[in-house]
Amino acid sequence: MAGSFPTLKSGNTVWYPLQDTHSFGTGVLRFLDDTEQRWRARLMLRRFKLVCKEVNAYDASLILQFFRSQFGKFDATWSLTIGAETINNLAFSTDTFQVTEEKRNRVSFIFDVEQRKSAAPTIPSVGSYFPQINSAGIMTSLPYVLQYDYKTILNEMATGKQYSYKWRSTPLGKFAIQLNPITDTELTVVQNYFYGMEGRKGEFTFMDPGGNLVNYSDNYSHASWSNASLTVGSAQTDPYGGSLATRLTSGGSNALLYTTVIPSGNASGFVVCASIWARAASSGQQLSIGFIDSGFSVIGNTIWDLPQNQWRRISHSMTLATNSYIRVLIGGFATWGSGRVIDLFGAQCSPTPAPGPRLLTPGFDGLRIKCRFDTDDFTVNKLQVNNNSVTLPVAEYA
C-alpha cells in the first residue's frame, strides 16, 4: 500500500477544475452577550475533490488499480503531487469507485480525498486588518453579500399578547467575500491570512468595502467632526431631492473640517478613497479633500473646482504609506475663503480605489473591529492555470 497517486499518460496527476480545501479545527463558544471564546481543536488538514473528465481507458485503469491497492478508504499513507507540492498521509473518502462512460474509450469519475494526519503547517504572522489582495485595493468581487442581524426574543402569552426583548442595540454584520477570478499571487495573500488566523480562531478588523468609514456622513455638528473657521448652518436640498445636505459658511481664509476614519492606524499599504458632494453658492470656488495623519500633516489631497449652484462629487484616492491613525480632511489650503458658502452632503470613506455608492451613517458603518472567519475551511476552486475562485464568510461578534 502507500505510494503516490499515479502520473497519467499526459504527465499530470490532477485535472481542472480542482477543489482544494484547507481545513482547520476550531472550538467556538458564543455567549449570551455575543462575545466568544475560541481555541484550536486540531491542526489543519487538507481535502480534495478530484474531477476526472473524459479520461482514456489506459489512465482510468491506472487510477482504478491504485484505488484497489489502497483498499478504498482503508489506507491513509499515500501522497498526491500538485505542481511542486506533495501532500502526504492521504486517503480516499469512500470505499466506492464509480466510473461513467460518456464517450467511446472516454470515462469520467469524481472522488474525494482527505488527509488523515496533519503536516502541522507554519502559521504566518499577519496584520490586524483583512487584506486587500493586490495593489489596486481589491477585497472582493461581485456579488458581495452583506447581512446585518439584530436579535429579538419574542414571548407570546396565553392571551395572545406578545412581549419582545431587544437583545442587541446595534446589529452584527456578516459578509460573504467572493474572490473570482484571482491569480495565484492574489490567492497566496488571502490564503496566508486565513492560515495566520488559523481559520475561525483568530480575530481581525474588517474594513467593509461596501461600508462607510465616516461615522456621521451628514451631521457636521456631531462630536466626531472637528472644524476651523466654519459655521454649520441649515439643512439644504441634497442631490437626491431630499433635505440631508448642510450649508457651511467660512469665517476665515482657510476653513476646514475633519473626522477620524481609521482610529487605530496600522493600515499602511491600504488603498482608501474619501469623497463628498459639494455645491458652491458663488462662482470661482474650489474645495480640497484628502487625508491627514495624527500630527495633522497632509498625506494626500486633491483640489477640485466647484461649478456655481451645481452638485459635484469630489474625491481623493491613495495608498496609505503610514501607520498613523487617519482622518479625512475637507477644505484647508486656503480653498475655502472667508464668507464663502458651500453645501456639503454624503461624506464617505471606503477601502476602495474609487468612491462607492452613497451610504448614510450613522447606522451600519464600515469599520468592524471584532471579526473572524465564519468557517474553518478555506476552499480553493482551481479553474485553470493561474485562475482561482474563493468564497470566504466573515462574521462579527461583540
Q: Report the C-alpha gap between 295 and 265 in whole angstroms.
A: 13
Q: Name the one residue in this structure whose C-alpha cell is 476552486.
A: 381
Residue 373 has pLDDT above 70, yes or no: yes
If we measure between CA atoms, which residue out of 73, 70, 25 comes closest to residue 46?
25
4-8, 175-179, 381-385: which range is least confident on average? 4-8
Q: Could you say which DSSP state residue 199 is in? A: T
Average pLDDT score over residue span 186-207: 97
Domains observed in the chain: 18-121 (no CATH), 125-204+372-398 (no CATH), 225-365 (2.60.120.260)
In degrees and rounded to multiples of 5, residue 72 shows phi and psi of 70, -125
Residue 11 is predicted with a pLDDT of 64
Residue 12 has pLDDT above 90, yes or no: no
Residue 61 is predicted with a pLDDT of 86
Average pLDDT score over residue span 135-153: 92
40-88: pLDDT as tens digits = 999 999 999 988 888 888 888 888 888 888 998 998 999 988 888 899 9
Residue 102 is predicted with a pLDDT of 78
Residue 335 is predicted with a pLDDT of 82
Q: What is the pTM of this model?
A: 0.90
Retrieve residue 313's grid coordinates. 462629487
Q: Say what percent of the chain tops pLDDT 70.
A: 99
Q: DSSP secondary structure string, 92-161?
A: ES-S----EEEETTEEEEEEEEEESS----------SBPPPSSTT----EEEEEEEEE--EEEEE-TTS-
If we measure between CA atoms, which residue out of 165, 167, 147, 148 comes closest to residue 156?
165
Residue 361 is predicted with a pLDDT of 93
Residue 253 has pLDDT above 90, yes or no: no
Q: Report the C-alpha gap between 197 and 129 in whole angstroms.
A: 11
Q: Could you say which DSSP state residue 4 is in? A: B
Residue 1 banded pLDDT, cuts 50, 70, 90:
low
